[in-house]
Amino acid sequence: MSDWQREDDSEWLWRISPRDDLLVERLSPRSETSDFAATEAERDWWLNQLAGYGAQPGDYVVERVPGPLRRAIADDRARRNRLVDAHWARRKAERDARLADEQGKR
């Protein structure tokens, strides 16, 4: 976390996060946090860092979110939890339907 993030009270921030469909497939999407930037220059720096690690531009979503940083992080965690919960509920429903179908064929 950069120095500005320790004391940030910006009204708006840039959130840089993996696309939702990529996020839910990660091993620990709940424990990760998005990257946040207070300025366009910081946003561009984060994007350049991600590109340096081989990330494709289309793999990330960049959007303005309300600040301050603590609120943005809390909102991001809540959003991730909702995404992961919905993803696993959908996977469980698909599995249950498949098992019911297989049992019906016996």
Residue 77 burial (10 A CB sphere; 0-12, 13-18, 19+): middle
Query: What is the structure's pLDDT at 104?
Result: 85
Query: What is the structure's pLDDT at 101?
Result: 92
Please state, in angstroms and rounded to a whole number, the distance separating the CA atoms of residues 39 and 41.
5
Query: What is the structure's pLDDT at 8?
Result: 72
The list of the chain residues with pLDDT below 50 reads 1
> Strand (E) positions, 21-96?
35-37, 60-66
List the structure tokens of 94.
């698909």
The reported pTM is 0.75
Please state, in angstroms and rounded to a whole number, the distance separating the CA atoms of residues 12 and 6.
15
Query: What is the structure's pLDDT at 106?
Result: 66
Query: How is the chain split into domains, by residue range?
Result: 3-104
Query: What is the structure's pLDDT at 23?
Result: 84
Query: What is the structure's pLDDT at 1?
Result: 47
